[in-house]
Structure 1
Amino acid sequence: MDQSLHAVKGNRVRRLRVSQRVAVTALAALLAGAAAPALATADSKAVPKAAAGQDRPELQQAIQAFVDAGFLGMQARVNDERGEWVGSAGQRKLGASAKPPTNGRFRIGSATKPFIATVVLQLVDDGKIGLDASVVDYLPEFELDRRITVRMLLQHTSGLYAYTGEFRPDGSVEPGIPAAGREWVDNRFKTYQPQELVRFAMSRPARFEPGKGWSYSNTNYTLAQLLIEKVTGHSIAEEMKRRILRPLKLRGTVVPGTTDLPGPHAHGYYRYQDESGQWKVVDVTRQNPSLQAGNGDMISTTKDLHTFFSALNSGKLLPTRLLAEMRKPHPKSAGIFGSYGLGIYVQDLGPGCGIVLNHNGSATGGYSTAMLSTPDGKKTLTASITFGDVAPDLAQAFSKALENLLRQVFCGGQARRADEATPAP
């Protein structure tokens, strides 16, 4: 185990616990772009017989608990020493009886970030980007603070304002470009240019001086996308295909250039209040993902996310020294999913469970994603959960379901002991 993983070993604040404040983001973590070939129908046929849900009823029951908590549907994939298991629960679409397809595509939200970080680090390995070089040297048009480095973008330590809004010290929200509510619903097909998103962020005060704090900001990864495109001379879709999608044969993964969700998929819905205070529900399966350029716009499948995250953590995509950099947690980033490195979280699940690497994702409306792996890449959980027309019980039922699923996959199914209570953050 490298030193970066030892740094989080034993930290009980980051064990199996979900607070209501981060529950929606947790969905993304729990479950796992543009136009690409249609999903091969052989995908579902490739699942071995042992992967049938009835062969591991504890996992089927674990994902059913999310539907019981109020979510519309869930599909999940587990790869471990027993082989591969896939299952789904709930509904594929409101009003339909069919379950979500286990080979279906979904919007992966911030699970996009490890893909972007991997490409940037590959360019570091190629000598085309300096990890601790000033970003302004590559992207002078944005007049960034010279102290902001490439590492700070990937690590969320640049201090750059998040263009979709920030929390004020009193807990209230300072709005940015609308990413929620009726205003987002009404503009969900609008096309944003990544440069537009960055310039909006640059028009707002920085959260802190570069390198002096930690704050999760999608602006960092939109800049990382622009950095990749500037250095390579290729679009992010082209470079992602060349470096990751084609070598790993990720046929279900796309960097979207369209509002459609191609191939088999479950539908995602968004609940919001109108001017009269009435709750409305809208199908947001189709939406323009350009608002999440570089930080949350990709589409994938549980199978492809497993293949990618297993390959990354087993050392197939980055040399040892850069994989170690990726896993080096920033001391100020500790939170519910662990501590942040360069595009991934490092989390200690506690005794009998060990360390997992993860990055969750919540697309704007409708979909959340989980992508977790042991450090050697041999055990993974990838999943997608969809929202329906009711408000899920995030405070209790979801929290319990999340903890149980992680324990089934990474802790041998053991129940938490009474003496393992986790202190409040």
Structure 2
Amino acid sequence: MQRKNAWRLRKALVVVAAAGWAGTAVADTAVAGPPSASPLQRSIDSLVSEEKYPAVSAWVHKDGRTTSLVAGSARLGRPVPVPHDGYVRAGSNTKTFTAVVVLQLVAEGRVRLDEPVETYLPGVVRGEGIDGRRITVRQLLQHTSGLPSYTDHMDLEEFGEVQHRFFHPHDLLATALAHPAEFAPGTGWKYSNTNYLLAGLLIERVTERPVQEQITERVIRKAGLRHTYWPQPGDQTLREPHAHGYALADPRSRKVIDVTEMDPSWGGAAGQLISTPSDLARFARVLIDGRLLPAAQLAEMRRTVDAPLMPGWRYGLGLFSVPLSCGGVYWGHGGDIDGYETRGGATDDGRSVGLAVTALPGTFGDAEEGARAVMESVDTAFCG
């Protein structure tokens, strides 16, 4: 998530954010070896020195070892130690959690993937070229619905003005449905936060319980995530410890503001969660290892279509498949929300990575170069 373009991942490159990565790992965090000699330490140091991210935190598990590394400062303009594995806003990583709950409901026979959304949300999805009777649950989760993204039509570009504003899910949906469909359902692929806003509403309609409760009970607790939570309405804070997050108040003045405290309600089931790099990594590991979904539903989640963001990228149901320079792919998501960008994922052979920076690409330097550098650090974590 990001500001206006933020949620859709800086047009196609910060969608990399959404496509990002999710992280994995199960071992307890411990610094391994001399950080200064590590290729990953050099890589995240360069994110601070060259790309001007205020702080970076990386968590890696591979070859039976777990490593936690940090760089930069937890506060802009003065030296404050960056906490290892501190809390961050997880942004679009939330989508994978939401998708897992929907697929659990599929396994329970309460939802069908190829059933129209209309079955579960009658009369809710209507607009110009938009009809819930023609959009399936699978198309929501795979971003093939053609629904416009509500974040493309909000004033998130002027983030200083909306930082502390509360948004209701139905108002966000109304914003999206006031605009025409991007394409006919099933005929294209485009990342849209509206898909997961609706997935959250579907969960609430089917279970008759709040989506945050269902994600907490069905995913967070089941996966053993001790540092992941859904902030309650009105909670604009981050738990301690954390590095502060920074964003542009607006694109014209280039004024940077502290956005550590903000109302994340515009994220909802598409991006409201708070977590840590290690918890995001653990979540990905547990998911890929088949501990959250039956085999049939995990296989559906990993059935991908082309996601034309970067060469080789593909999207399943709330999950990206991203190629690695050393061969193979990792599975994850990632997230962008003002103040924090998270990346990471898990491979089938047991490697896990979670990485966070405390600003979106373009806040302090060039957006494309900044996004590319973060992805290179993630690749180094997997392949170095």
TM-score (normalizing by structure 1): 0.79
Whether contact under 8 Å (1:116, 1:221) holds in the other structure is yes
Residue 170 of structure 1: aligned partner: none
User: Residues 156 and 206 (structure 1 numbering): CA distance in 2 closer, same or farther, change over 3 Å?
Assistant: same
Q: How does 1:91-240 map to 2 (within 5 A)?
A: 91-144=73-126, 145=131, 146-165=133-152, 176-181=153-158, 184-240=159-215
* SS of residue matched to 1:164: helix
User: Residues 23 and 70 (structure 1 numbering): CA distance in 2 closer, same or farther, change over 3 Å?
Assistant: farther
CA distance in 1, matches of 2:294, 2:203: 19
Shift of 1:46: 4.7
Structure 1 unaligned regions, length at least 5: 1-18, 33-44, 166-175, 414-425
CA distance in 2, matches of 1:31, 1:101: 21
Shift of 1:23: 4.2
Residue 382 of structure 2: aligned partner: 410
User: Residues 153 and 395 (structure 1 numbering): CA distance in 2 closer, same or farther, change over 3 Å?
Assistant: closer
Deviations 1:308-353 (A, max 9, x none): 100000111112221121111114x232271111101112225x32
Residue 368 of structure 1: aligned partner: 341
Aligned residues: 362
TM-score (normalizing by structure 2): 0.87
What letter is aligned with 1:222? L
Shift of 1:22: 4.0
Q: How does 1:219-298 map to 2 (within 5 A)?
A: 219-257=194-232, 258-273=235-250, 277-298=252-273
Q: CA RMSD in A?
A: 2.4
CA distance in 2, matches of 1:125, 1:366: 36
Whether contact under 8 Å (1:133, 1:149) holds in the other structure is yes
* SS of residue matched to 1:307: helix
CA distance in 2, matches of 1:219, 1:52: 44
CA distance in 1, matches of 2:136, 2:371: 38
User: Residues 156 and 94 (structure 1 numbering): CA distance in 2 closer, same or farther, change over 3 Å?
Assistant: same
Shift of 1:28: 6.3
1:384 aligns with 2:356: yes
Whether contact under 8 Å (1:160, 1:217) holds in the other structure is yes
* SS of residue matched to 1:148: coil
CA distance in 1, matches of 2:43, 2:305: 32
Residue 56 (structure 2) aligned to one of 67, 74, 79: 74
CA distance in 2, matches of 1:234, 1:82: 40
Residue 173 of structure 1: aligned partner: none
Report which of the two structures shows the higher radius of gyration computed on alpha carbons. Answer: 1
User: Residues 358 and 138 (structure 1 numbering): CA distance in 2 closer, same or farther, change over 3 Å?
Assistant: same
1:330 aligns with 2:305: yes
Whether contact under 8 Å (1:356, 1:372) holds in the other structure is yes
CA distance in 1, matches of 2:335, 2:165: 21
CA distance in 1, matches of 2:269, 2:209: 14
Whether contact under 8 Å (2:227, 2:276) holds in the other structure is yes
CA distance in 1, matches of 2:254, 2:53: 17
